[in-house]
Amino acid sequence: MSRVLITGSAAGLGREAARLLVGAGHEVVLHARDEGRTRAALAAVPGAAAALPGDLASIAQTTELAHRANESGPFDAVIHNAAIGYREPRRIETEDGLAHVFQVNVLAPYLLTALVRRPDRLIFLSSGLHRAGYPDLYDLQWEQRRWNGYQAYADAKLFDAVLAAAVARRWPDVLSNSVDPGWVKTKMGGPTAPGEIGPAAETQAWLAVSDDSLAFRSGDHFHHRQLWHSRAAVSDHVVQDGLFEACHGLTGHALVTNSPRELLIKGGYVVV
């Protein structure tokens, strides 16, 4: 049995992934924006162990969510599922003065990864639209550019894939991958989307717990349990390091590169 935390699991793909994992006998901790939604999440996923509140549009609340997650015990896997879609008609600024789409979709998973006790596996939800994203880091908060909700979302999903690859590079003892679930019938995807929610949630659940050899890869991009092509920018170390530096500057928290599973012995490191 694995213990899995899923952000944004009150509805949509997060809730479906939670149902799949609970049904397979795993311990699942849900997450939702506030207390009311956590109660709804627990009611919608019978058998879930708990649900933690925290608004990912707030650095303070995301930090508190990380503390609550750590207090609940270690996780074998974390699925960074929560996201804002592409329909925001204008740039919405959060309490931290940041672009809403960027803060929820990119900064929050970065901050949780930096603060939550390191699991064995990390899964970041990306999108096929990441191929339309701009890897340029000069205006992450959309303060200079004219707002474009579609582009802001595509950029964020590109950066989610970048985060997954960057974490895999810095933490070789953690399996870190990104997932393109496809365009599916969710609140975000809309009723005309061609894909069904069930198959779209399977890959992230599979990556979180599977013993299949393919699920033990790291730094890759997946779609429907298969390796999937991603933009070259995803594996670009300059883009990875630049995004990490930007997120560090915004949150004050860096991802420590060395593994906590390393012990200093006679001047050298031994992995245990």
List the structure tokens of 254.
């860096």
The β-bridge partners of 51 are 30
Catalytic, 157? Answer yes
Please tell me which residue in 157, 185, 187, 269 is annotated as part of the active site: 157
117: left (phi over 0), alpha (psi -120 to 50) or beta: beta
**Which residue type, as a one-letter code, is found at position 129?**
L
Catalytic, 153? Answer yes
Q: What are phi and psi of 81, to 5 degrees?
A: -100, -30
Please tell me which residue in 153, 185, 187, 266 is annotated as part of the active site: 153
- 3-state SS, residue 189: coil
List the structure tokens of 108.
């929050």
Chain position carrying tokens 């992934």: 17
**Which residue type, as a one-letter code, is found at position 225?**
R
Within 10 angstroms of residue 99's Cβ, the number of other Cβ atoms is 25
47: left (phi over 0), alpha (psi -120 to 50) or beta: left
| Angle at the Cα of 28 from the Cα atoms of 185 and 260, rounded to 5 degrees | 115
Among 271, 89, 43, which residue's Cα sits nearest to residue 173?
271
The β-bridge partners of 3 are 27
Give CB contacts under 8 A, 24+ apart, made by 90-95: 90/147, 91/142, 91/147, 91/152, 94/57, 94/58, 95/57, 95/58
Would you name the residues annotated as active-site residues?
153, 157
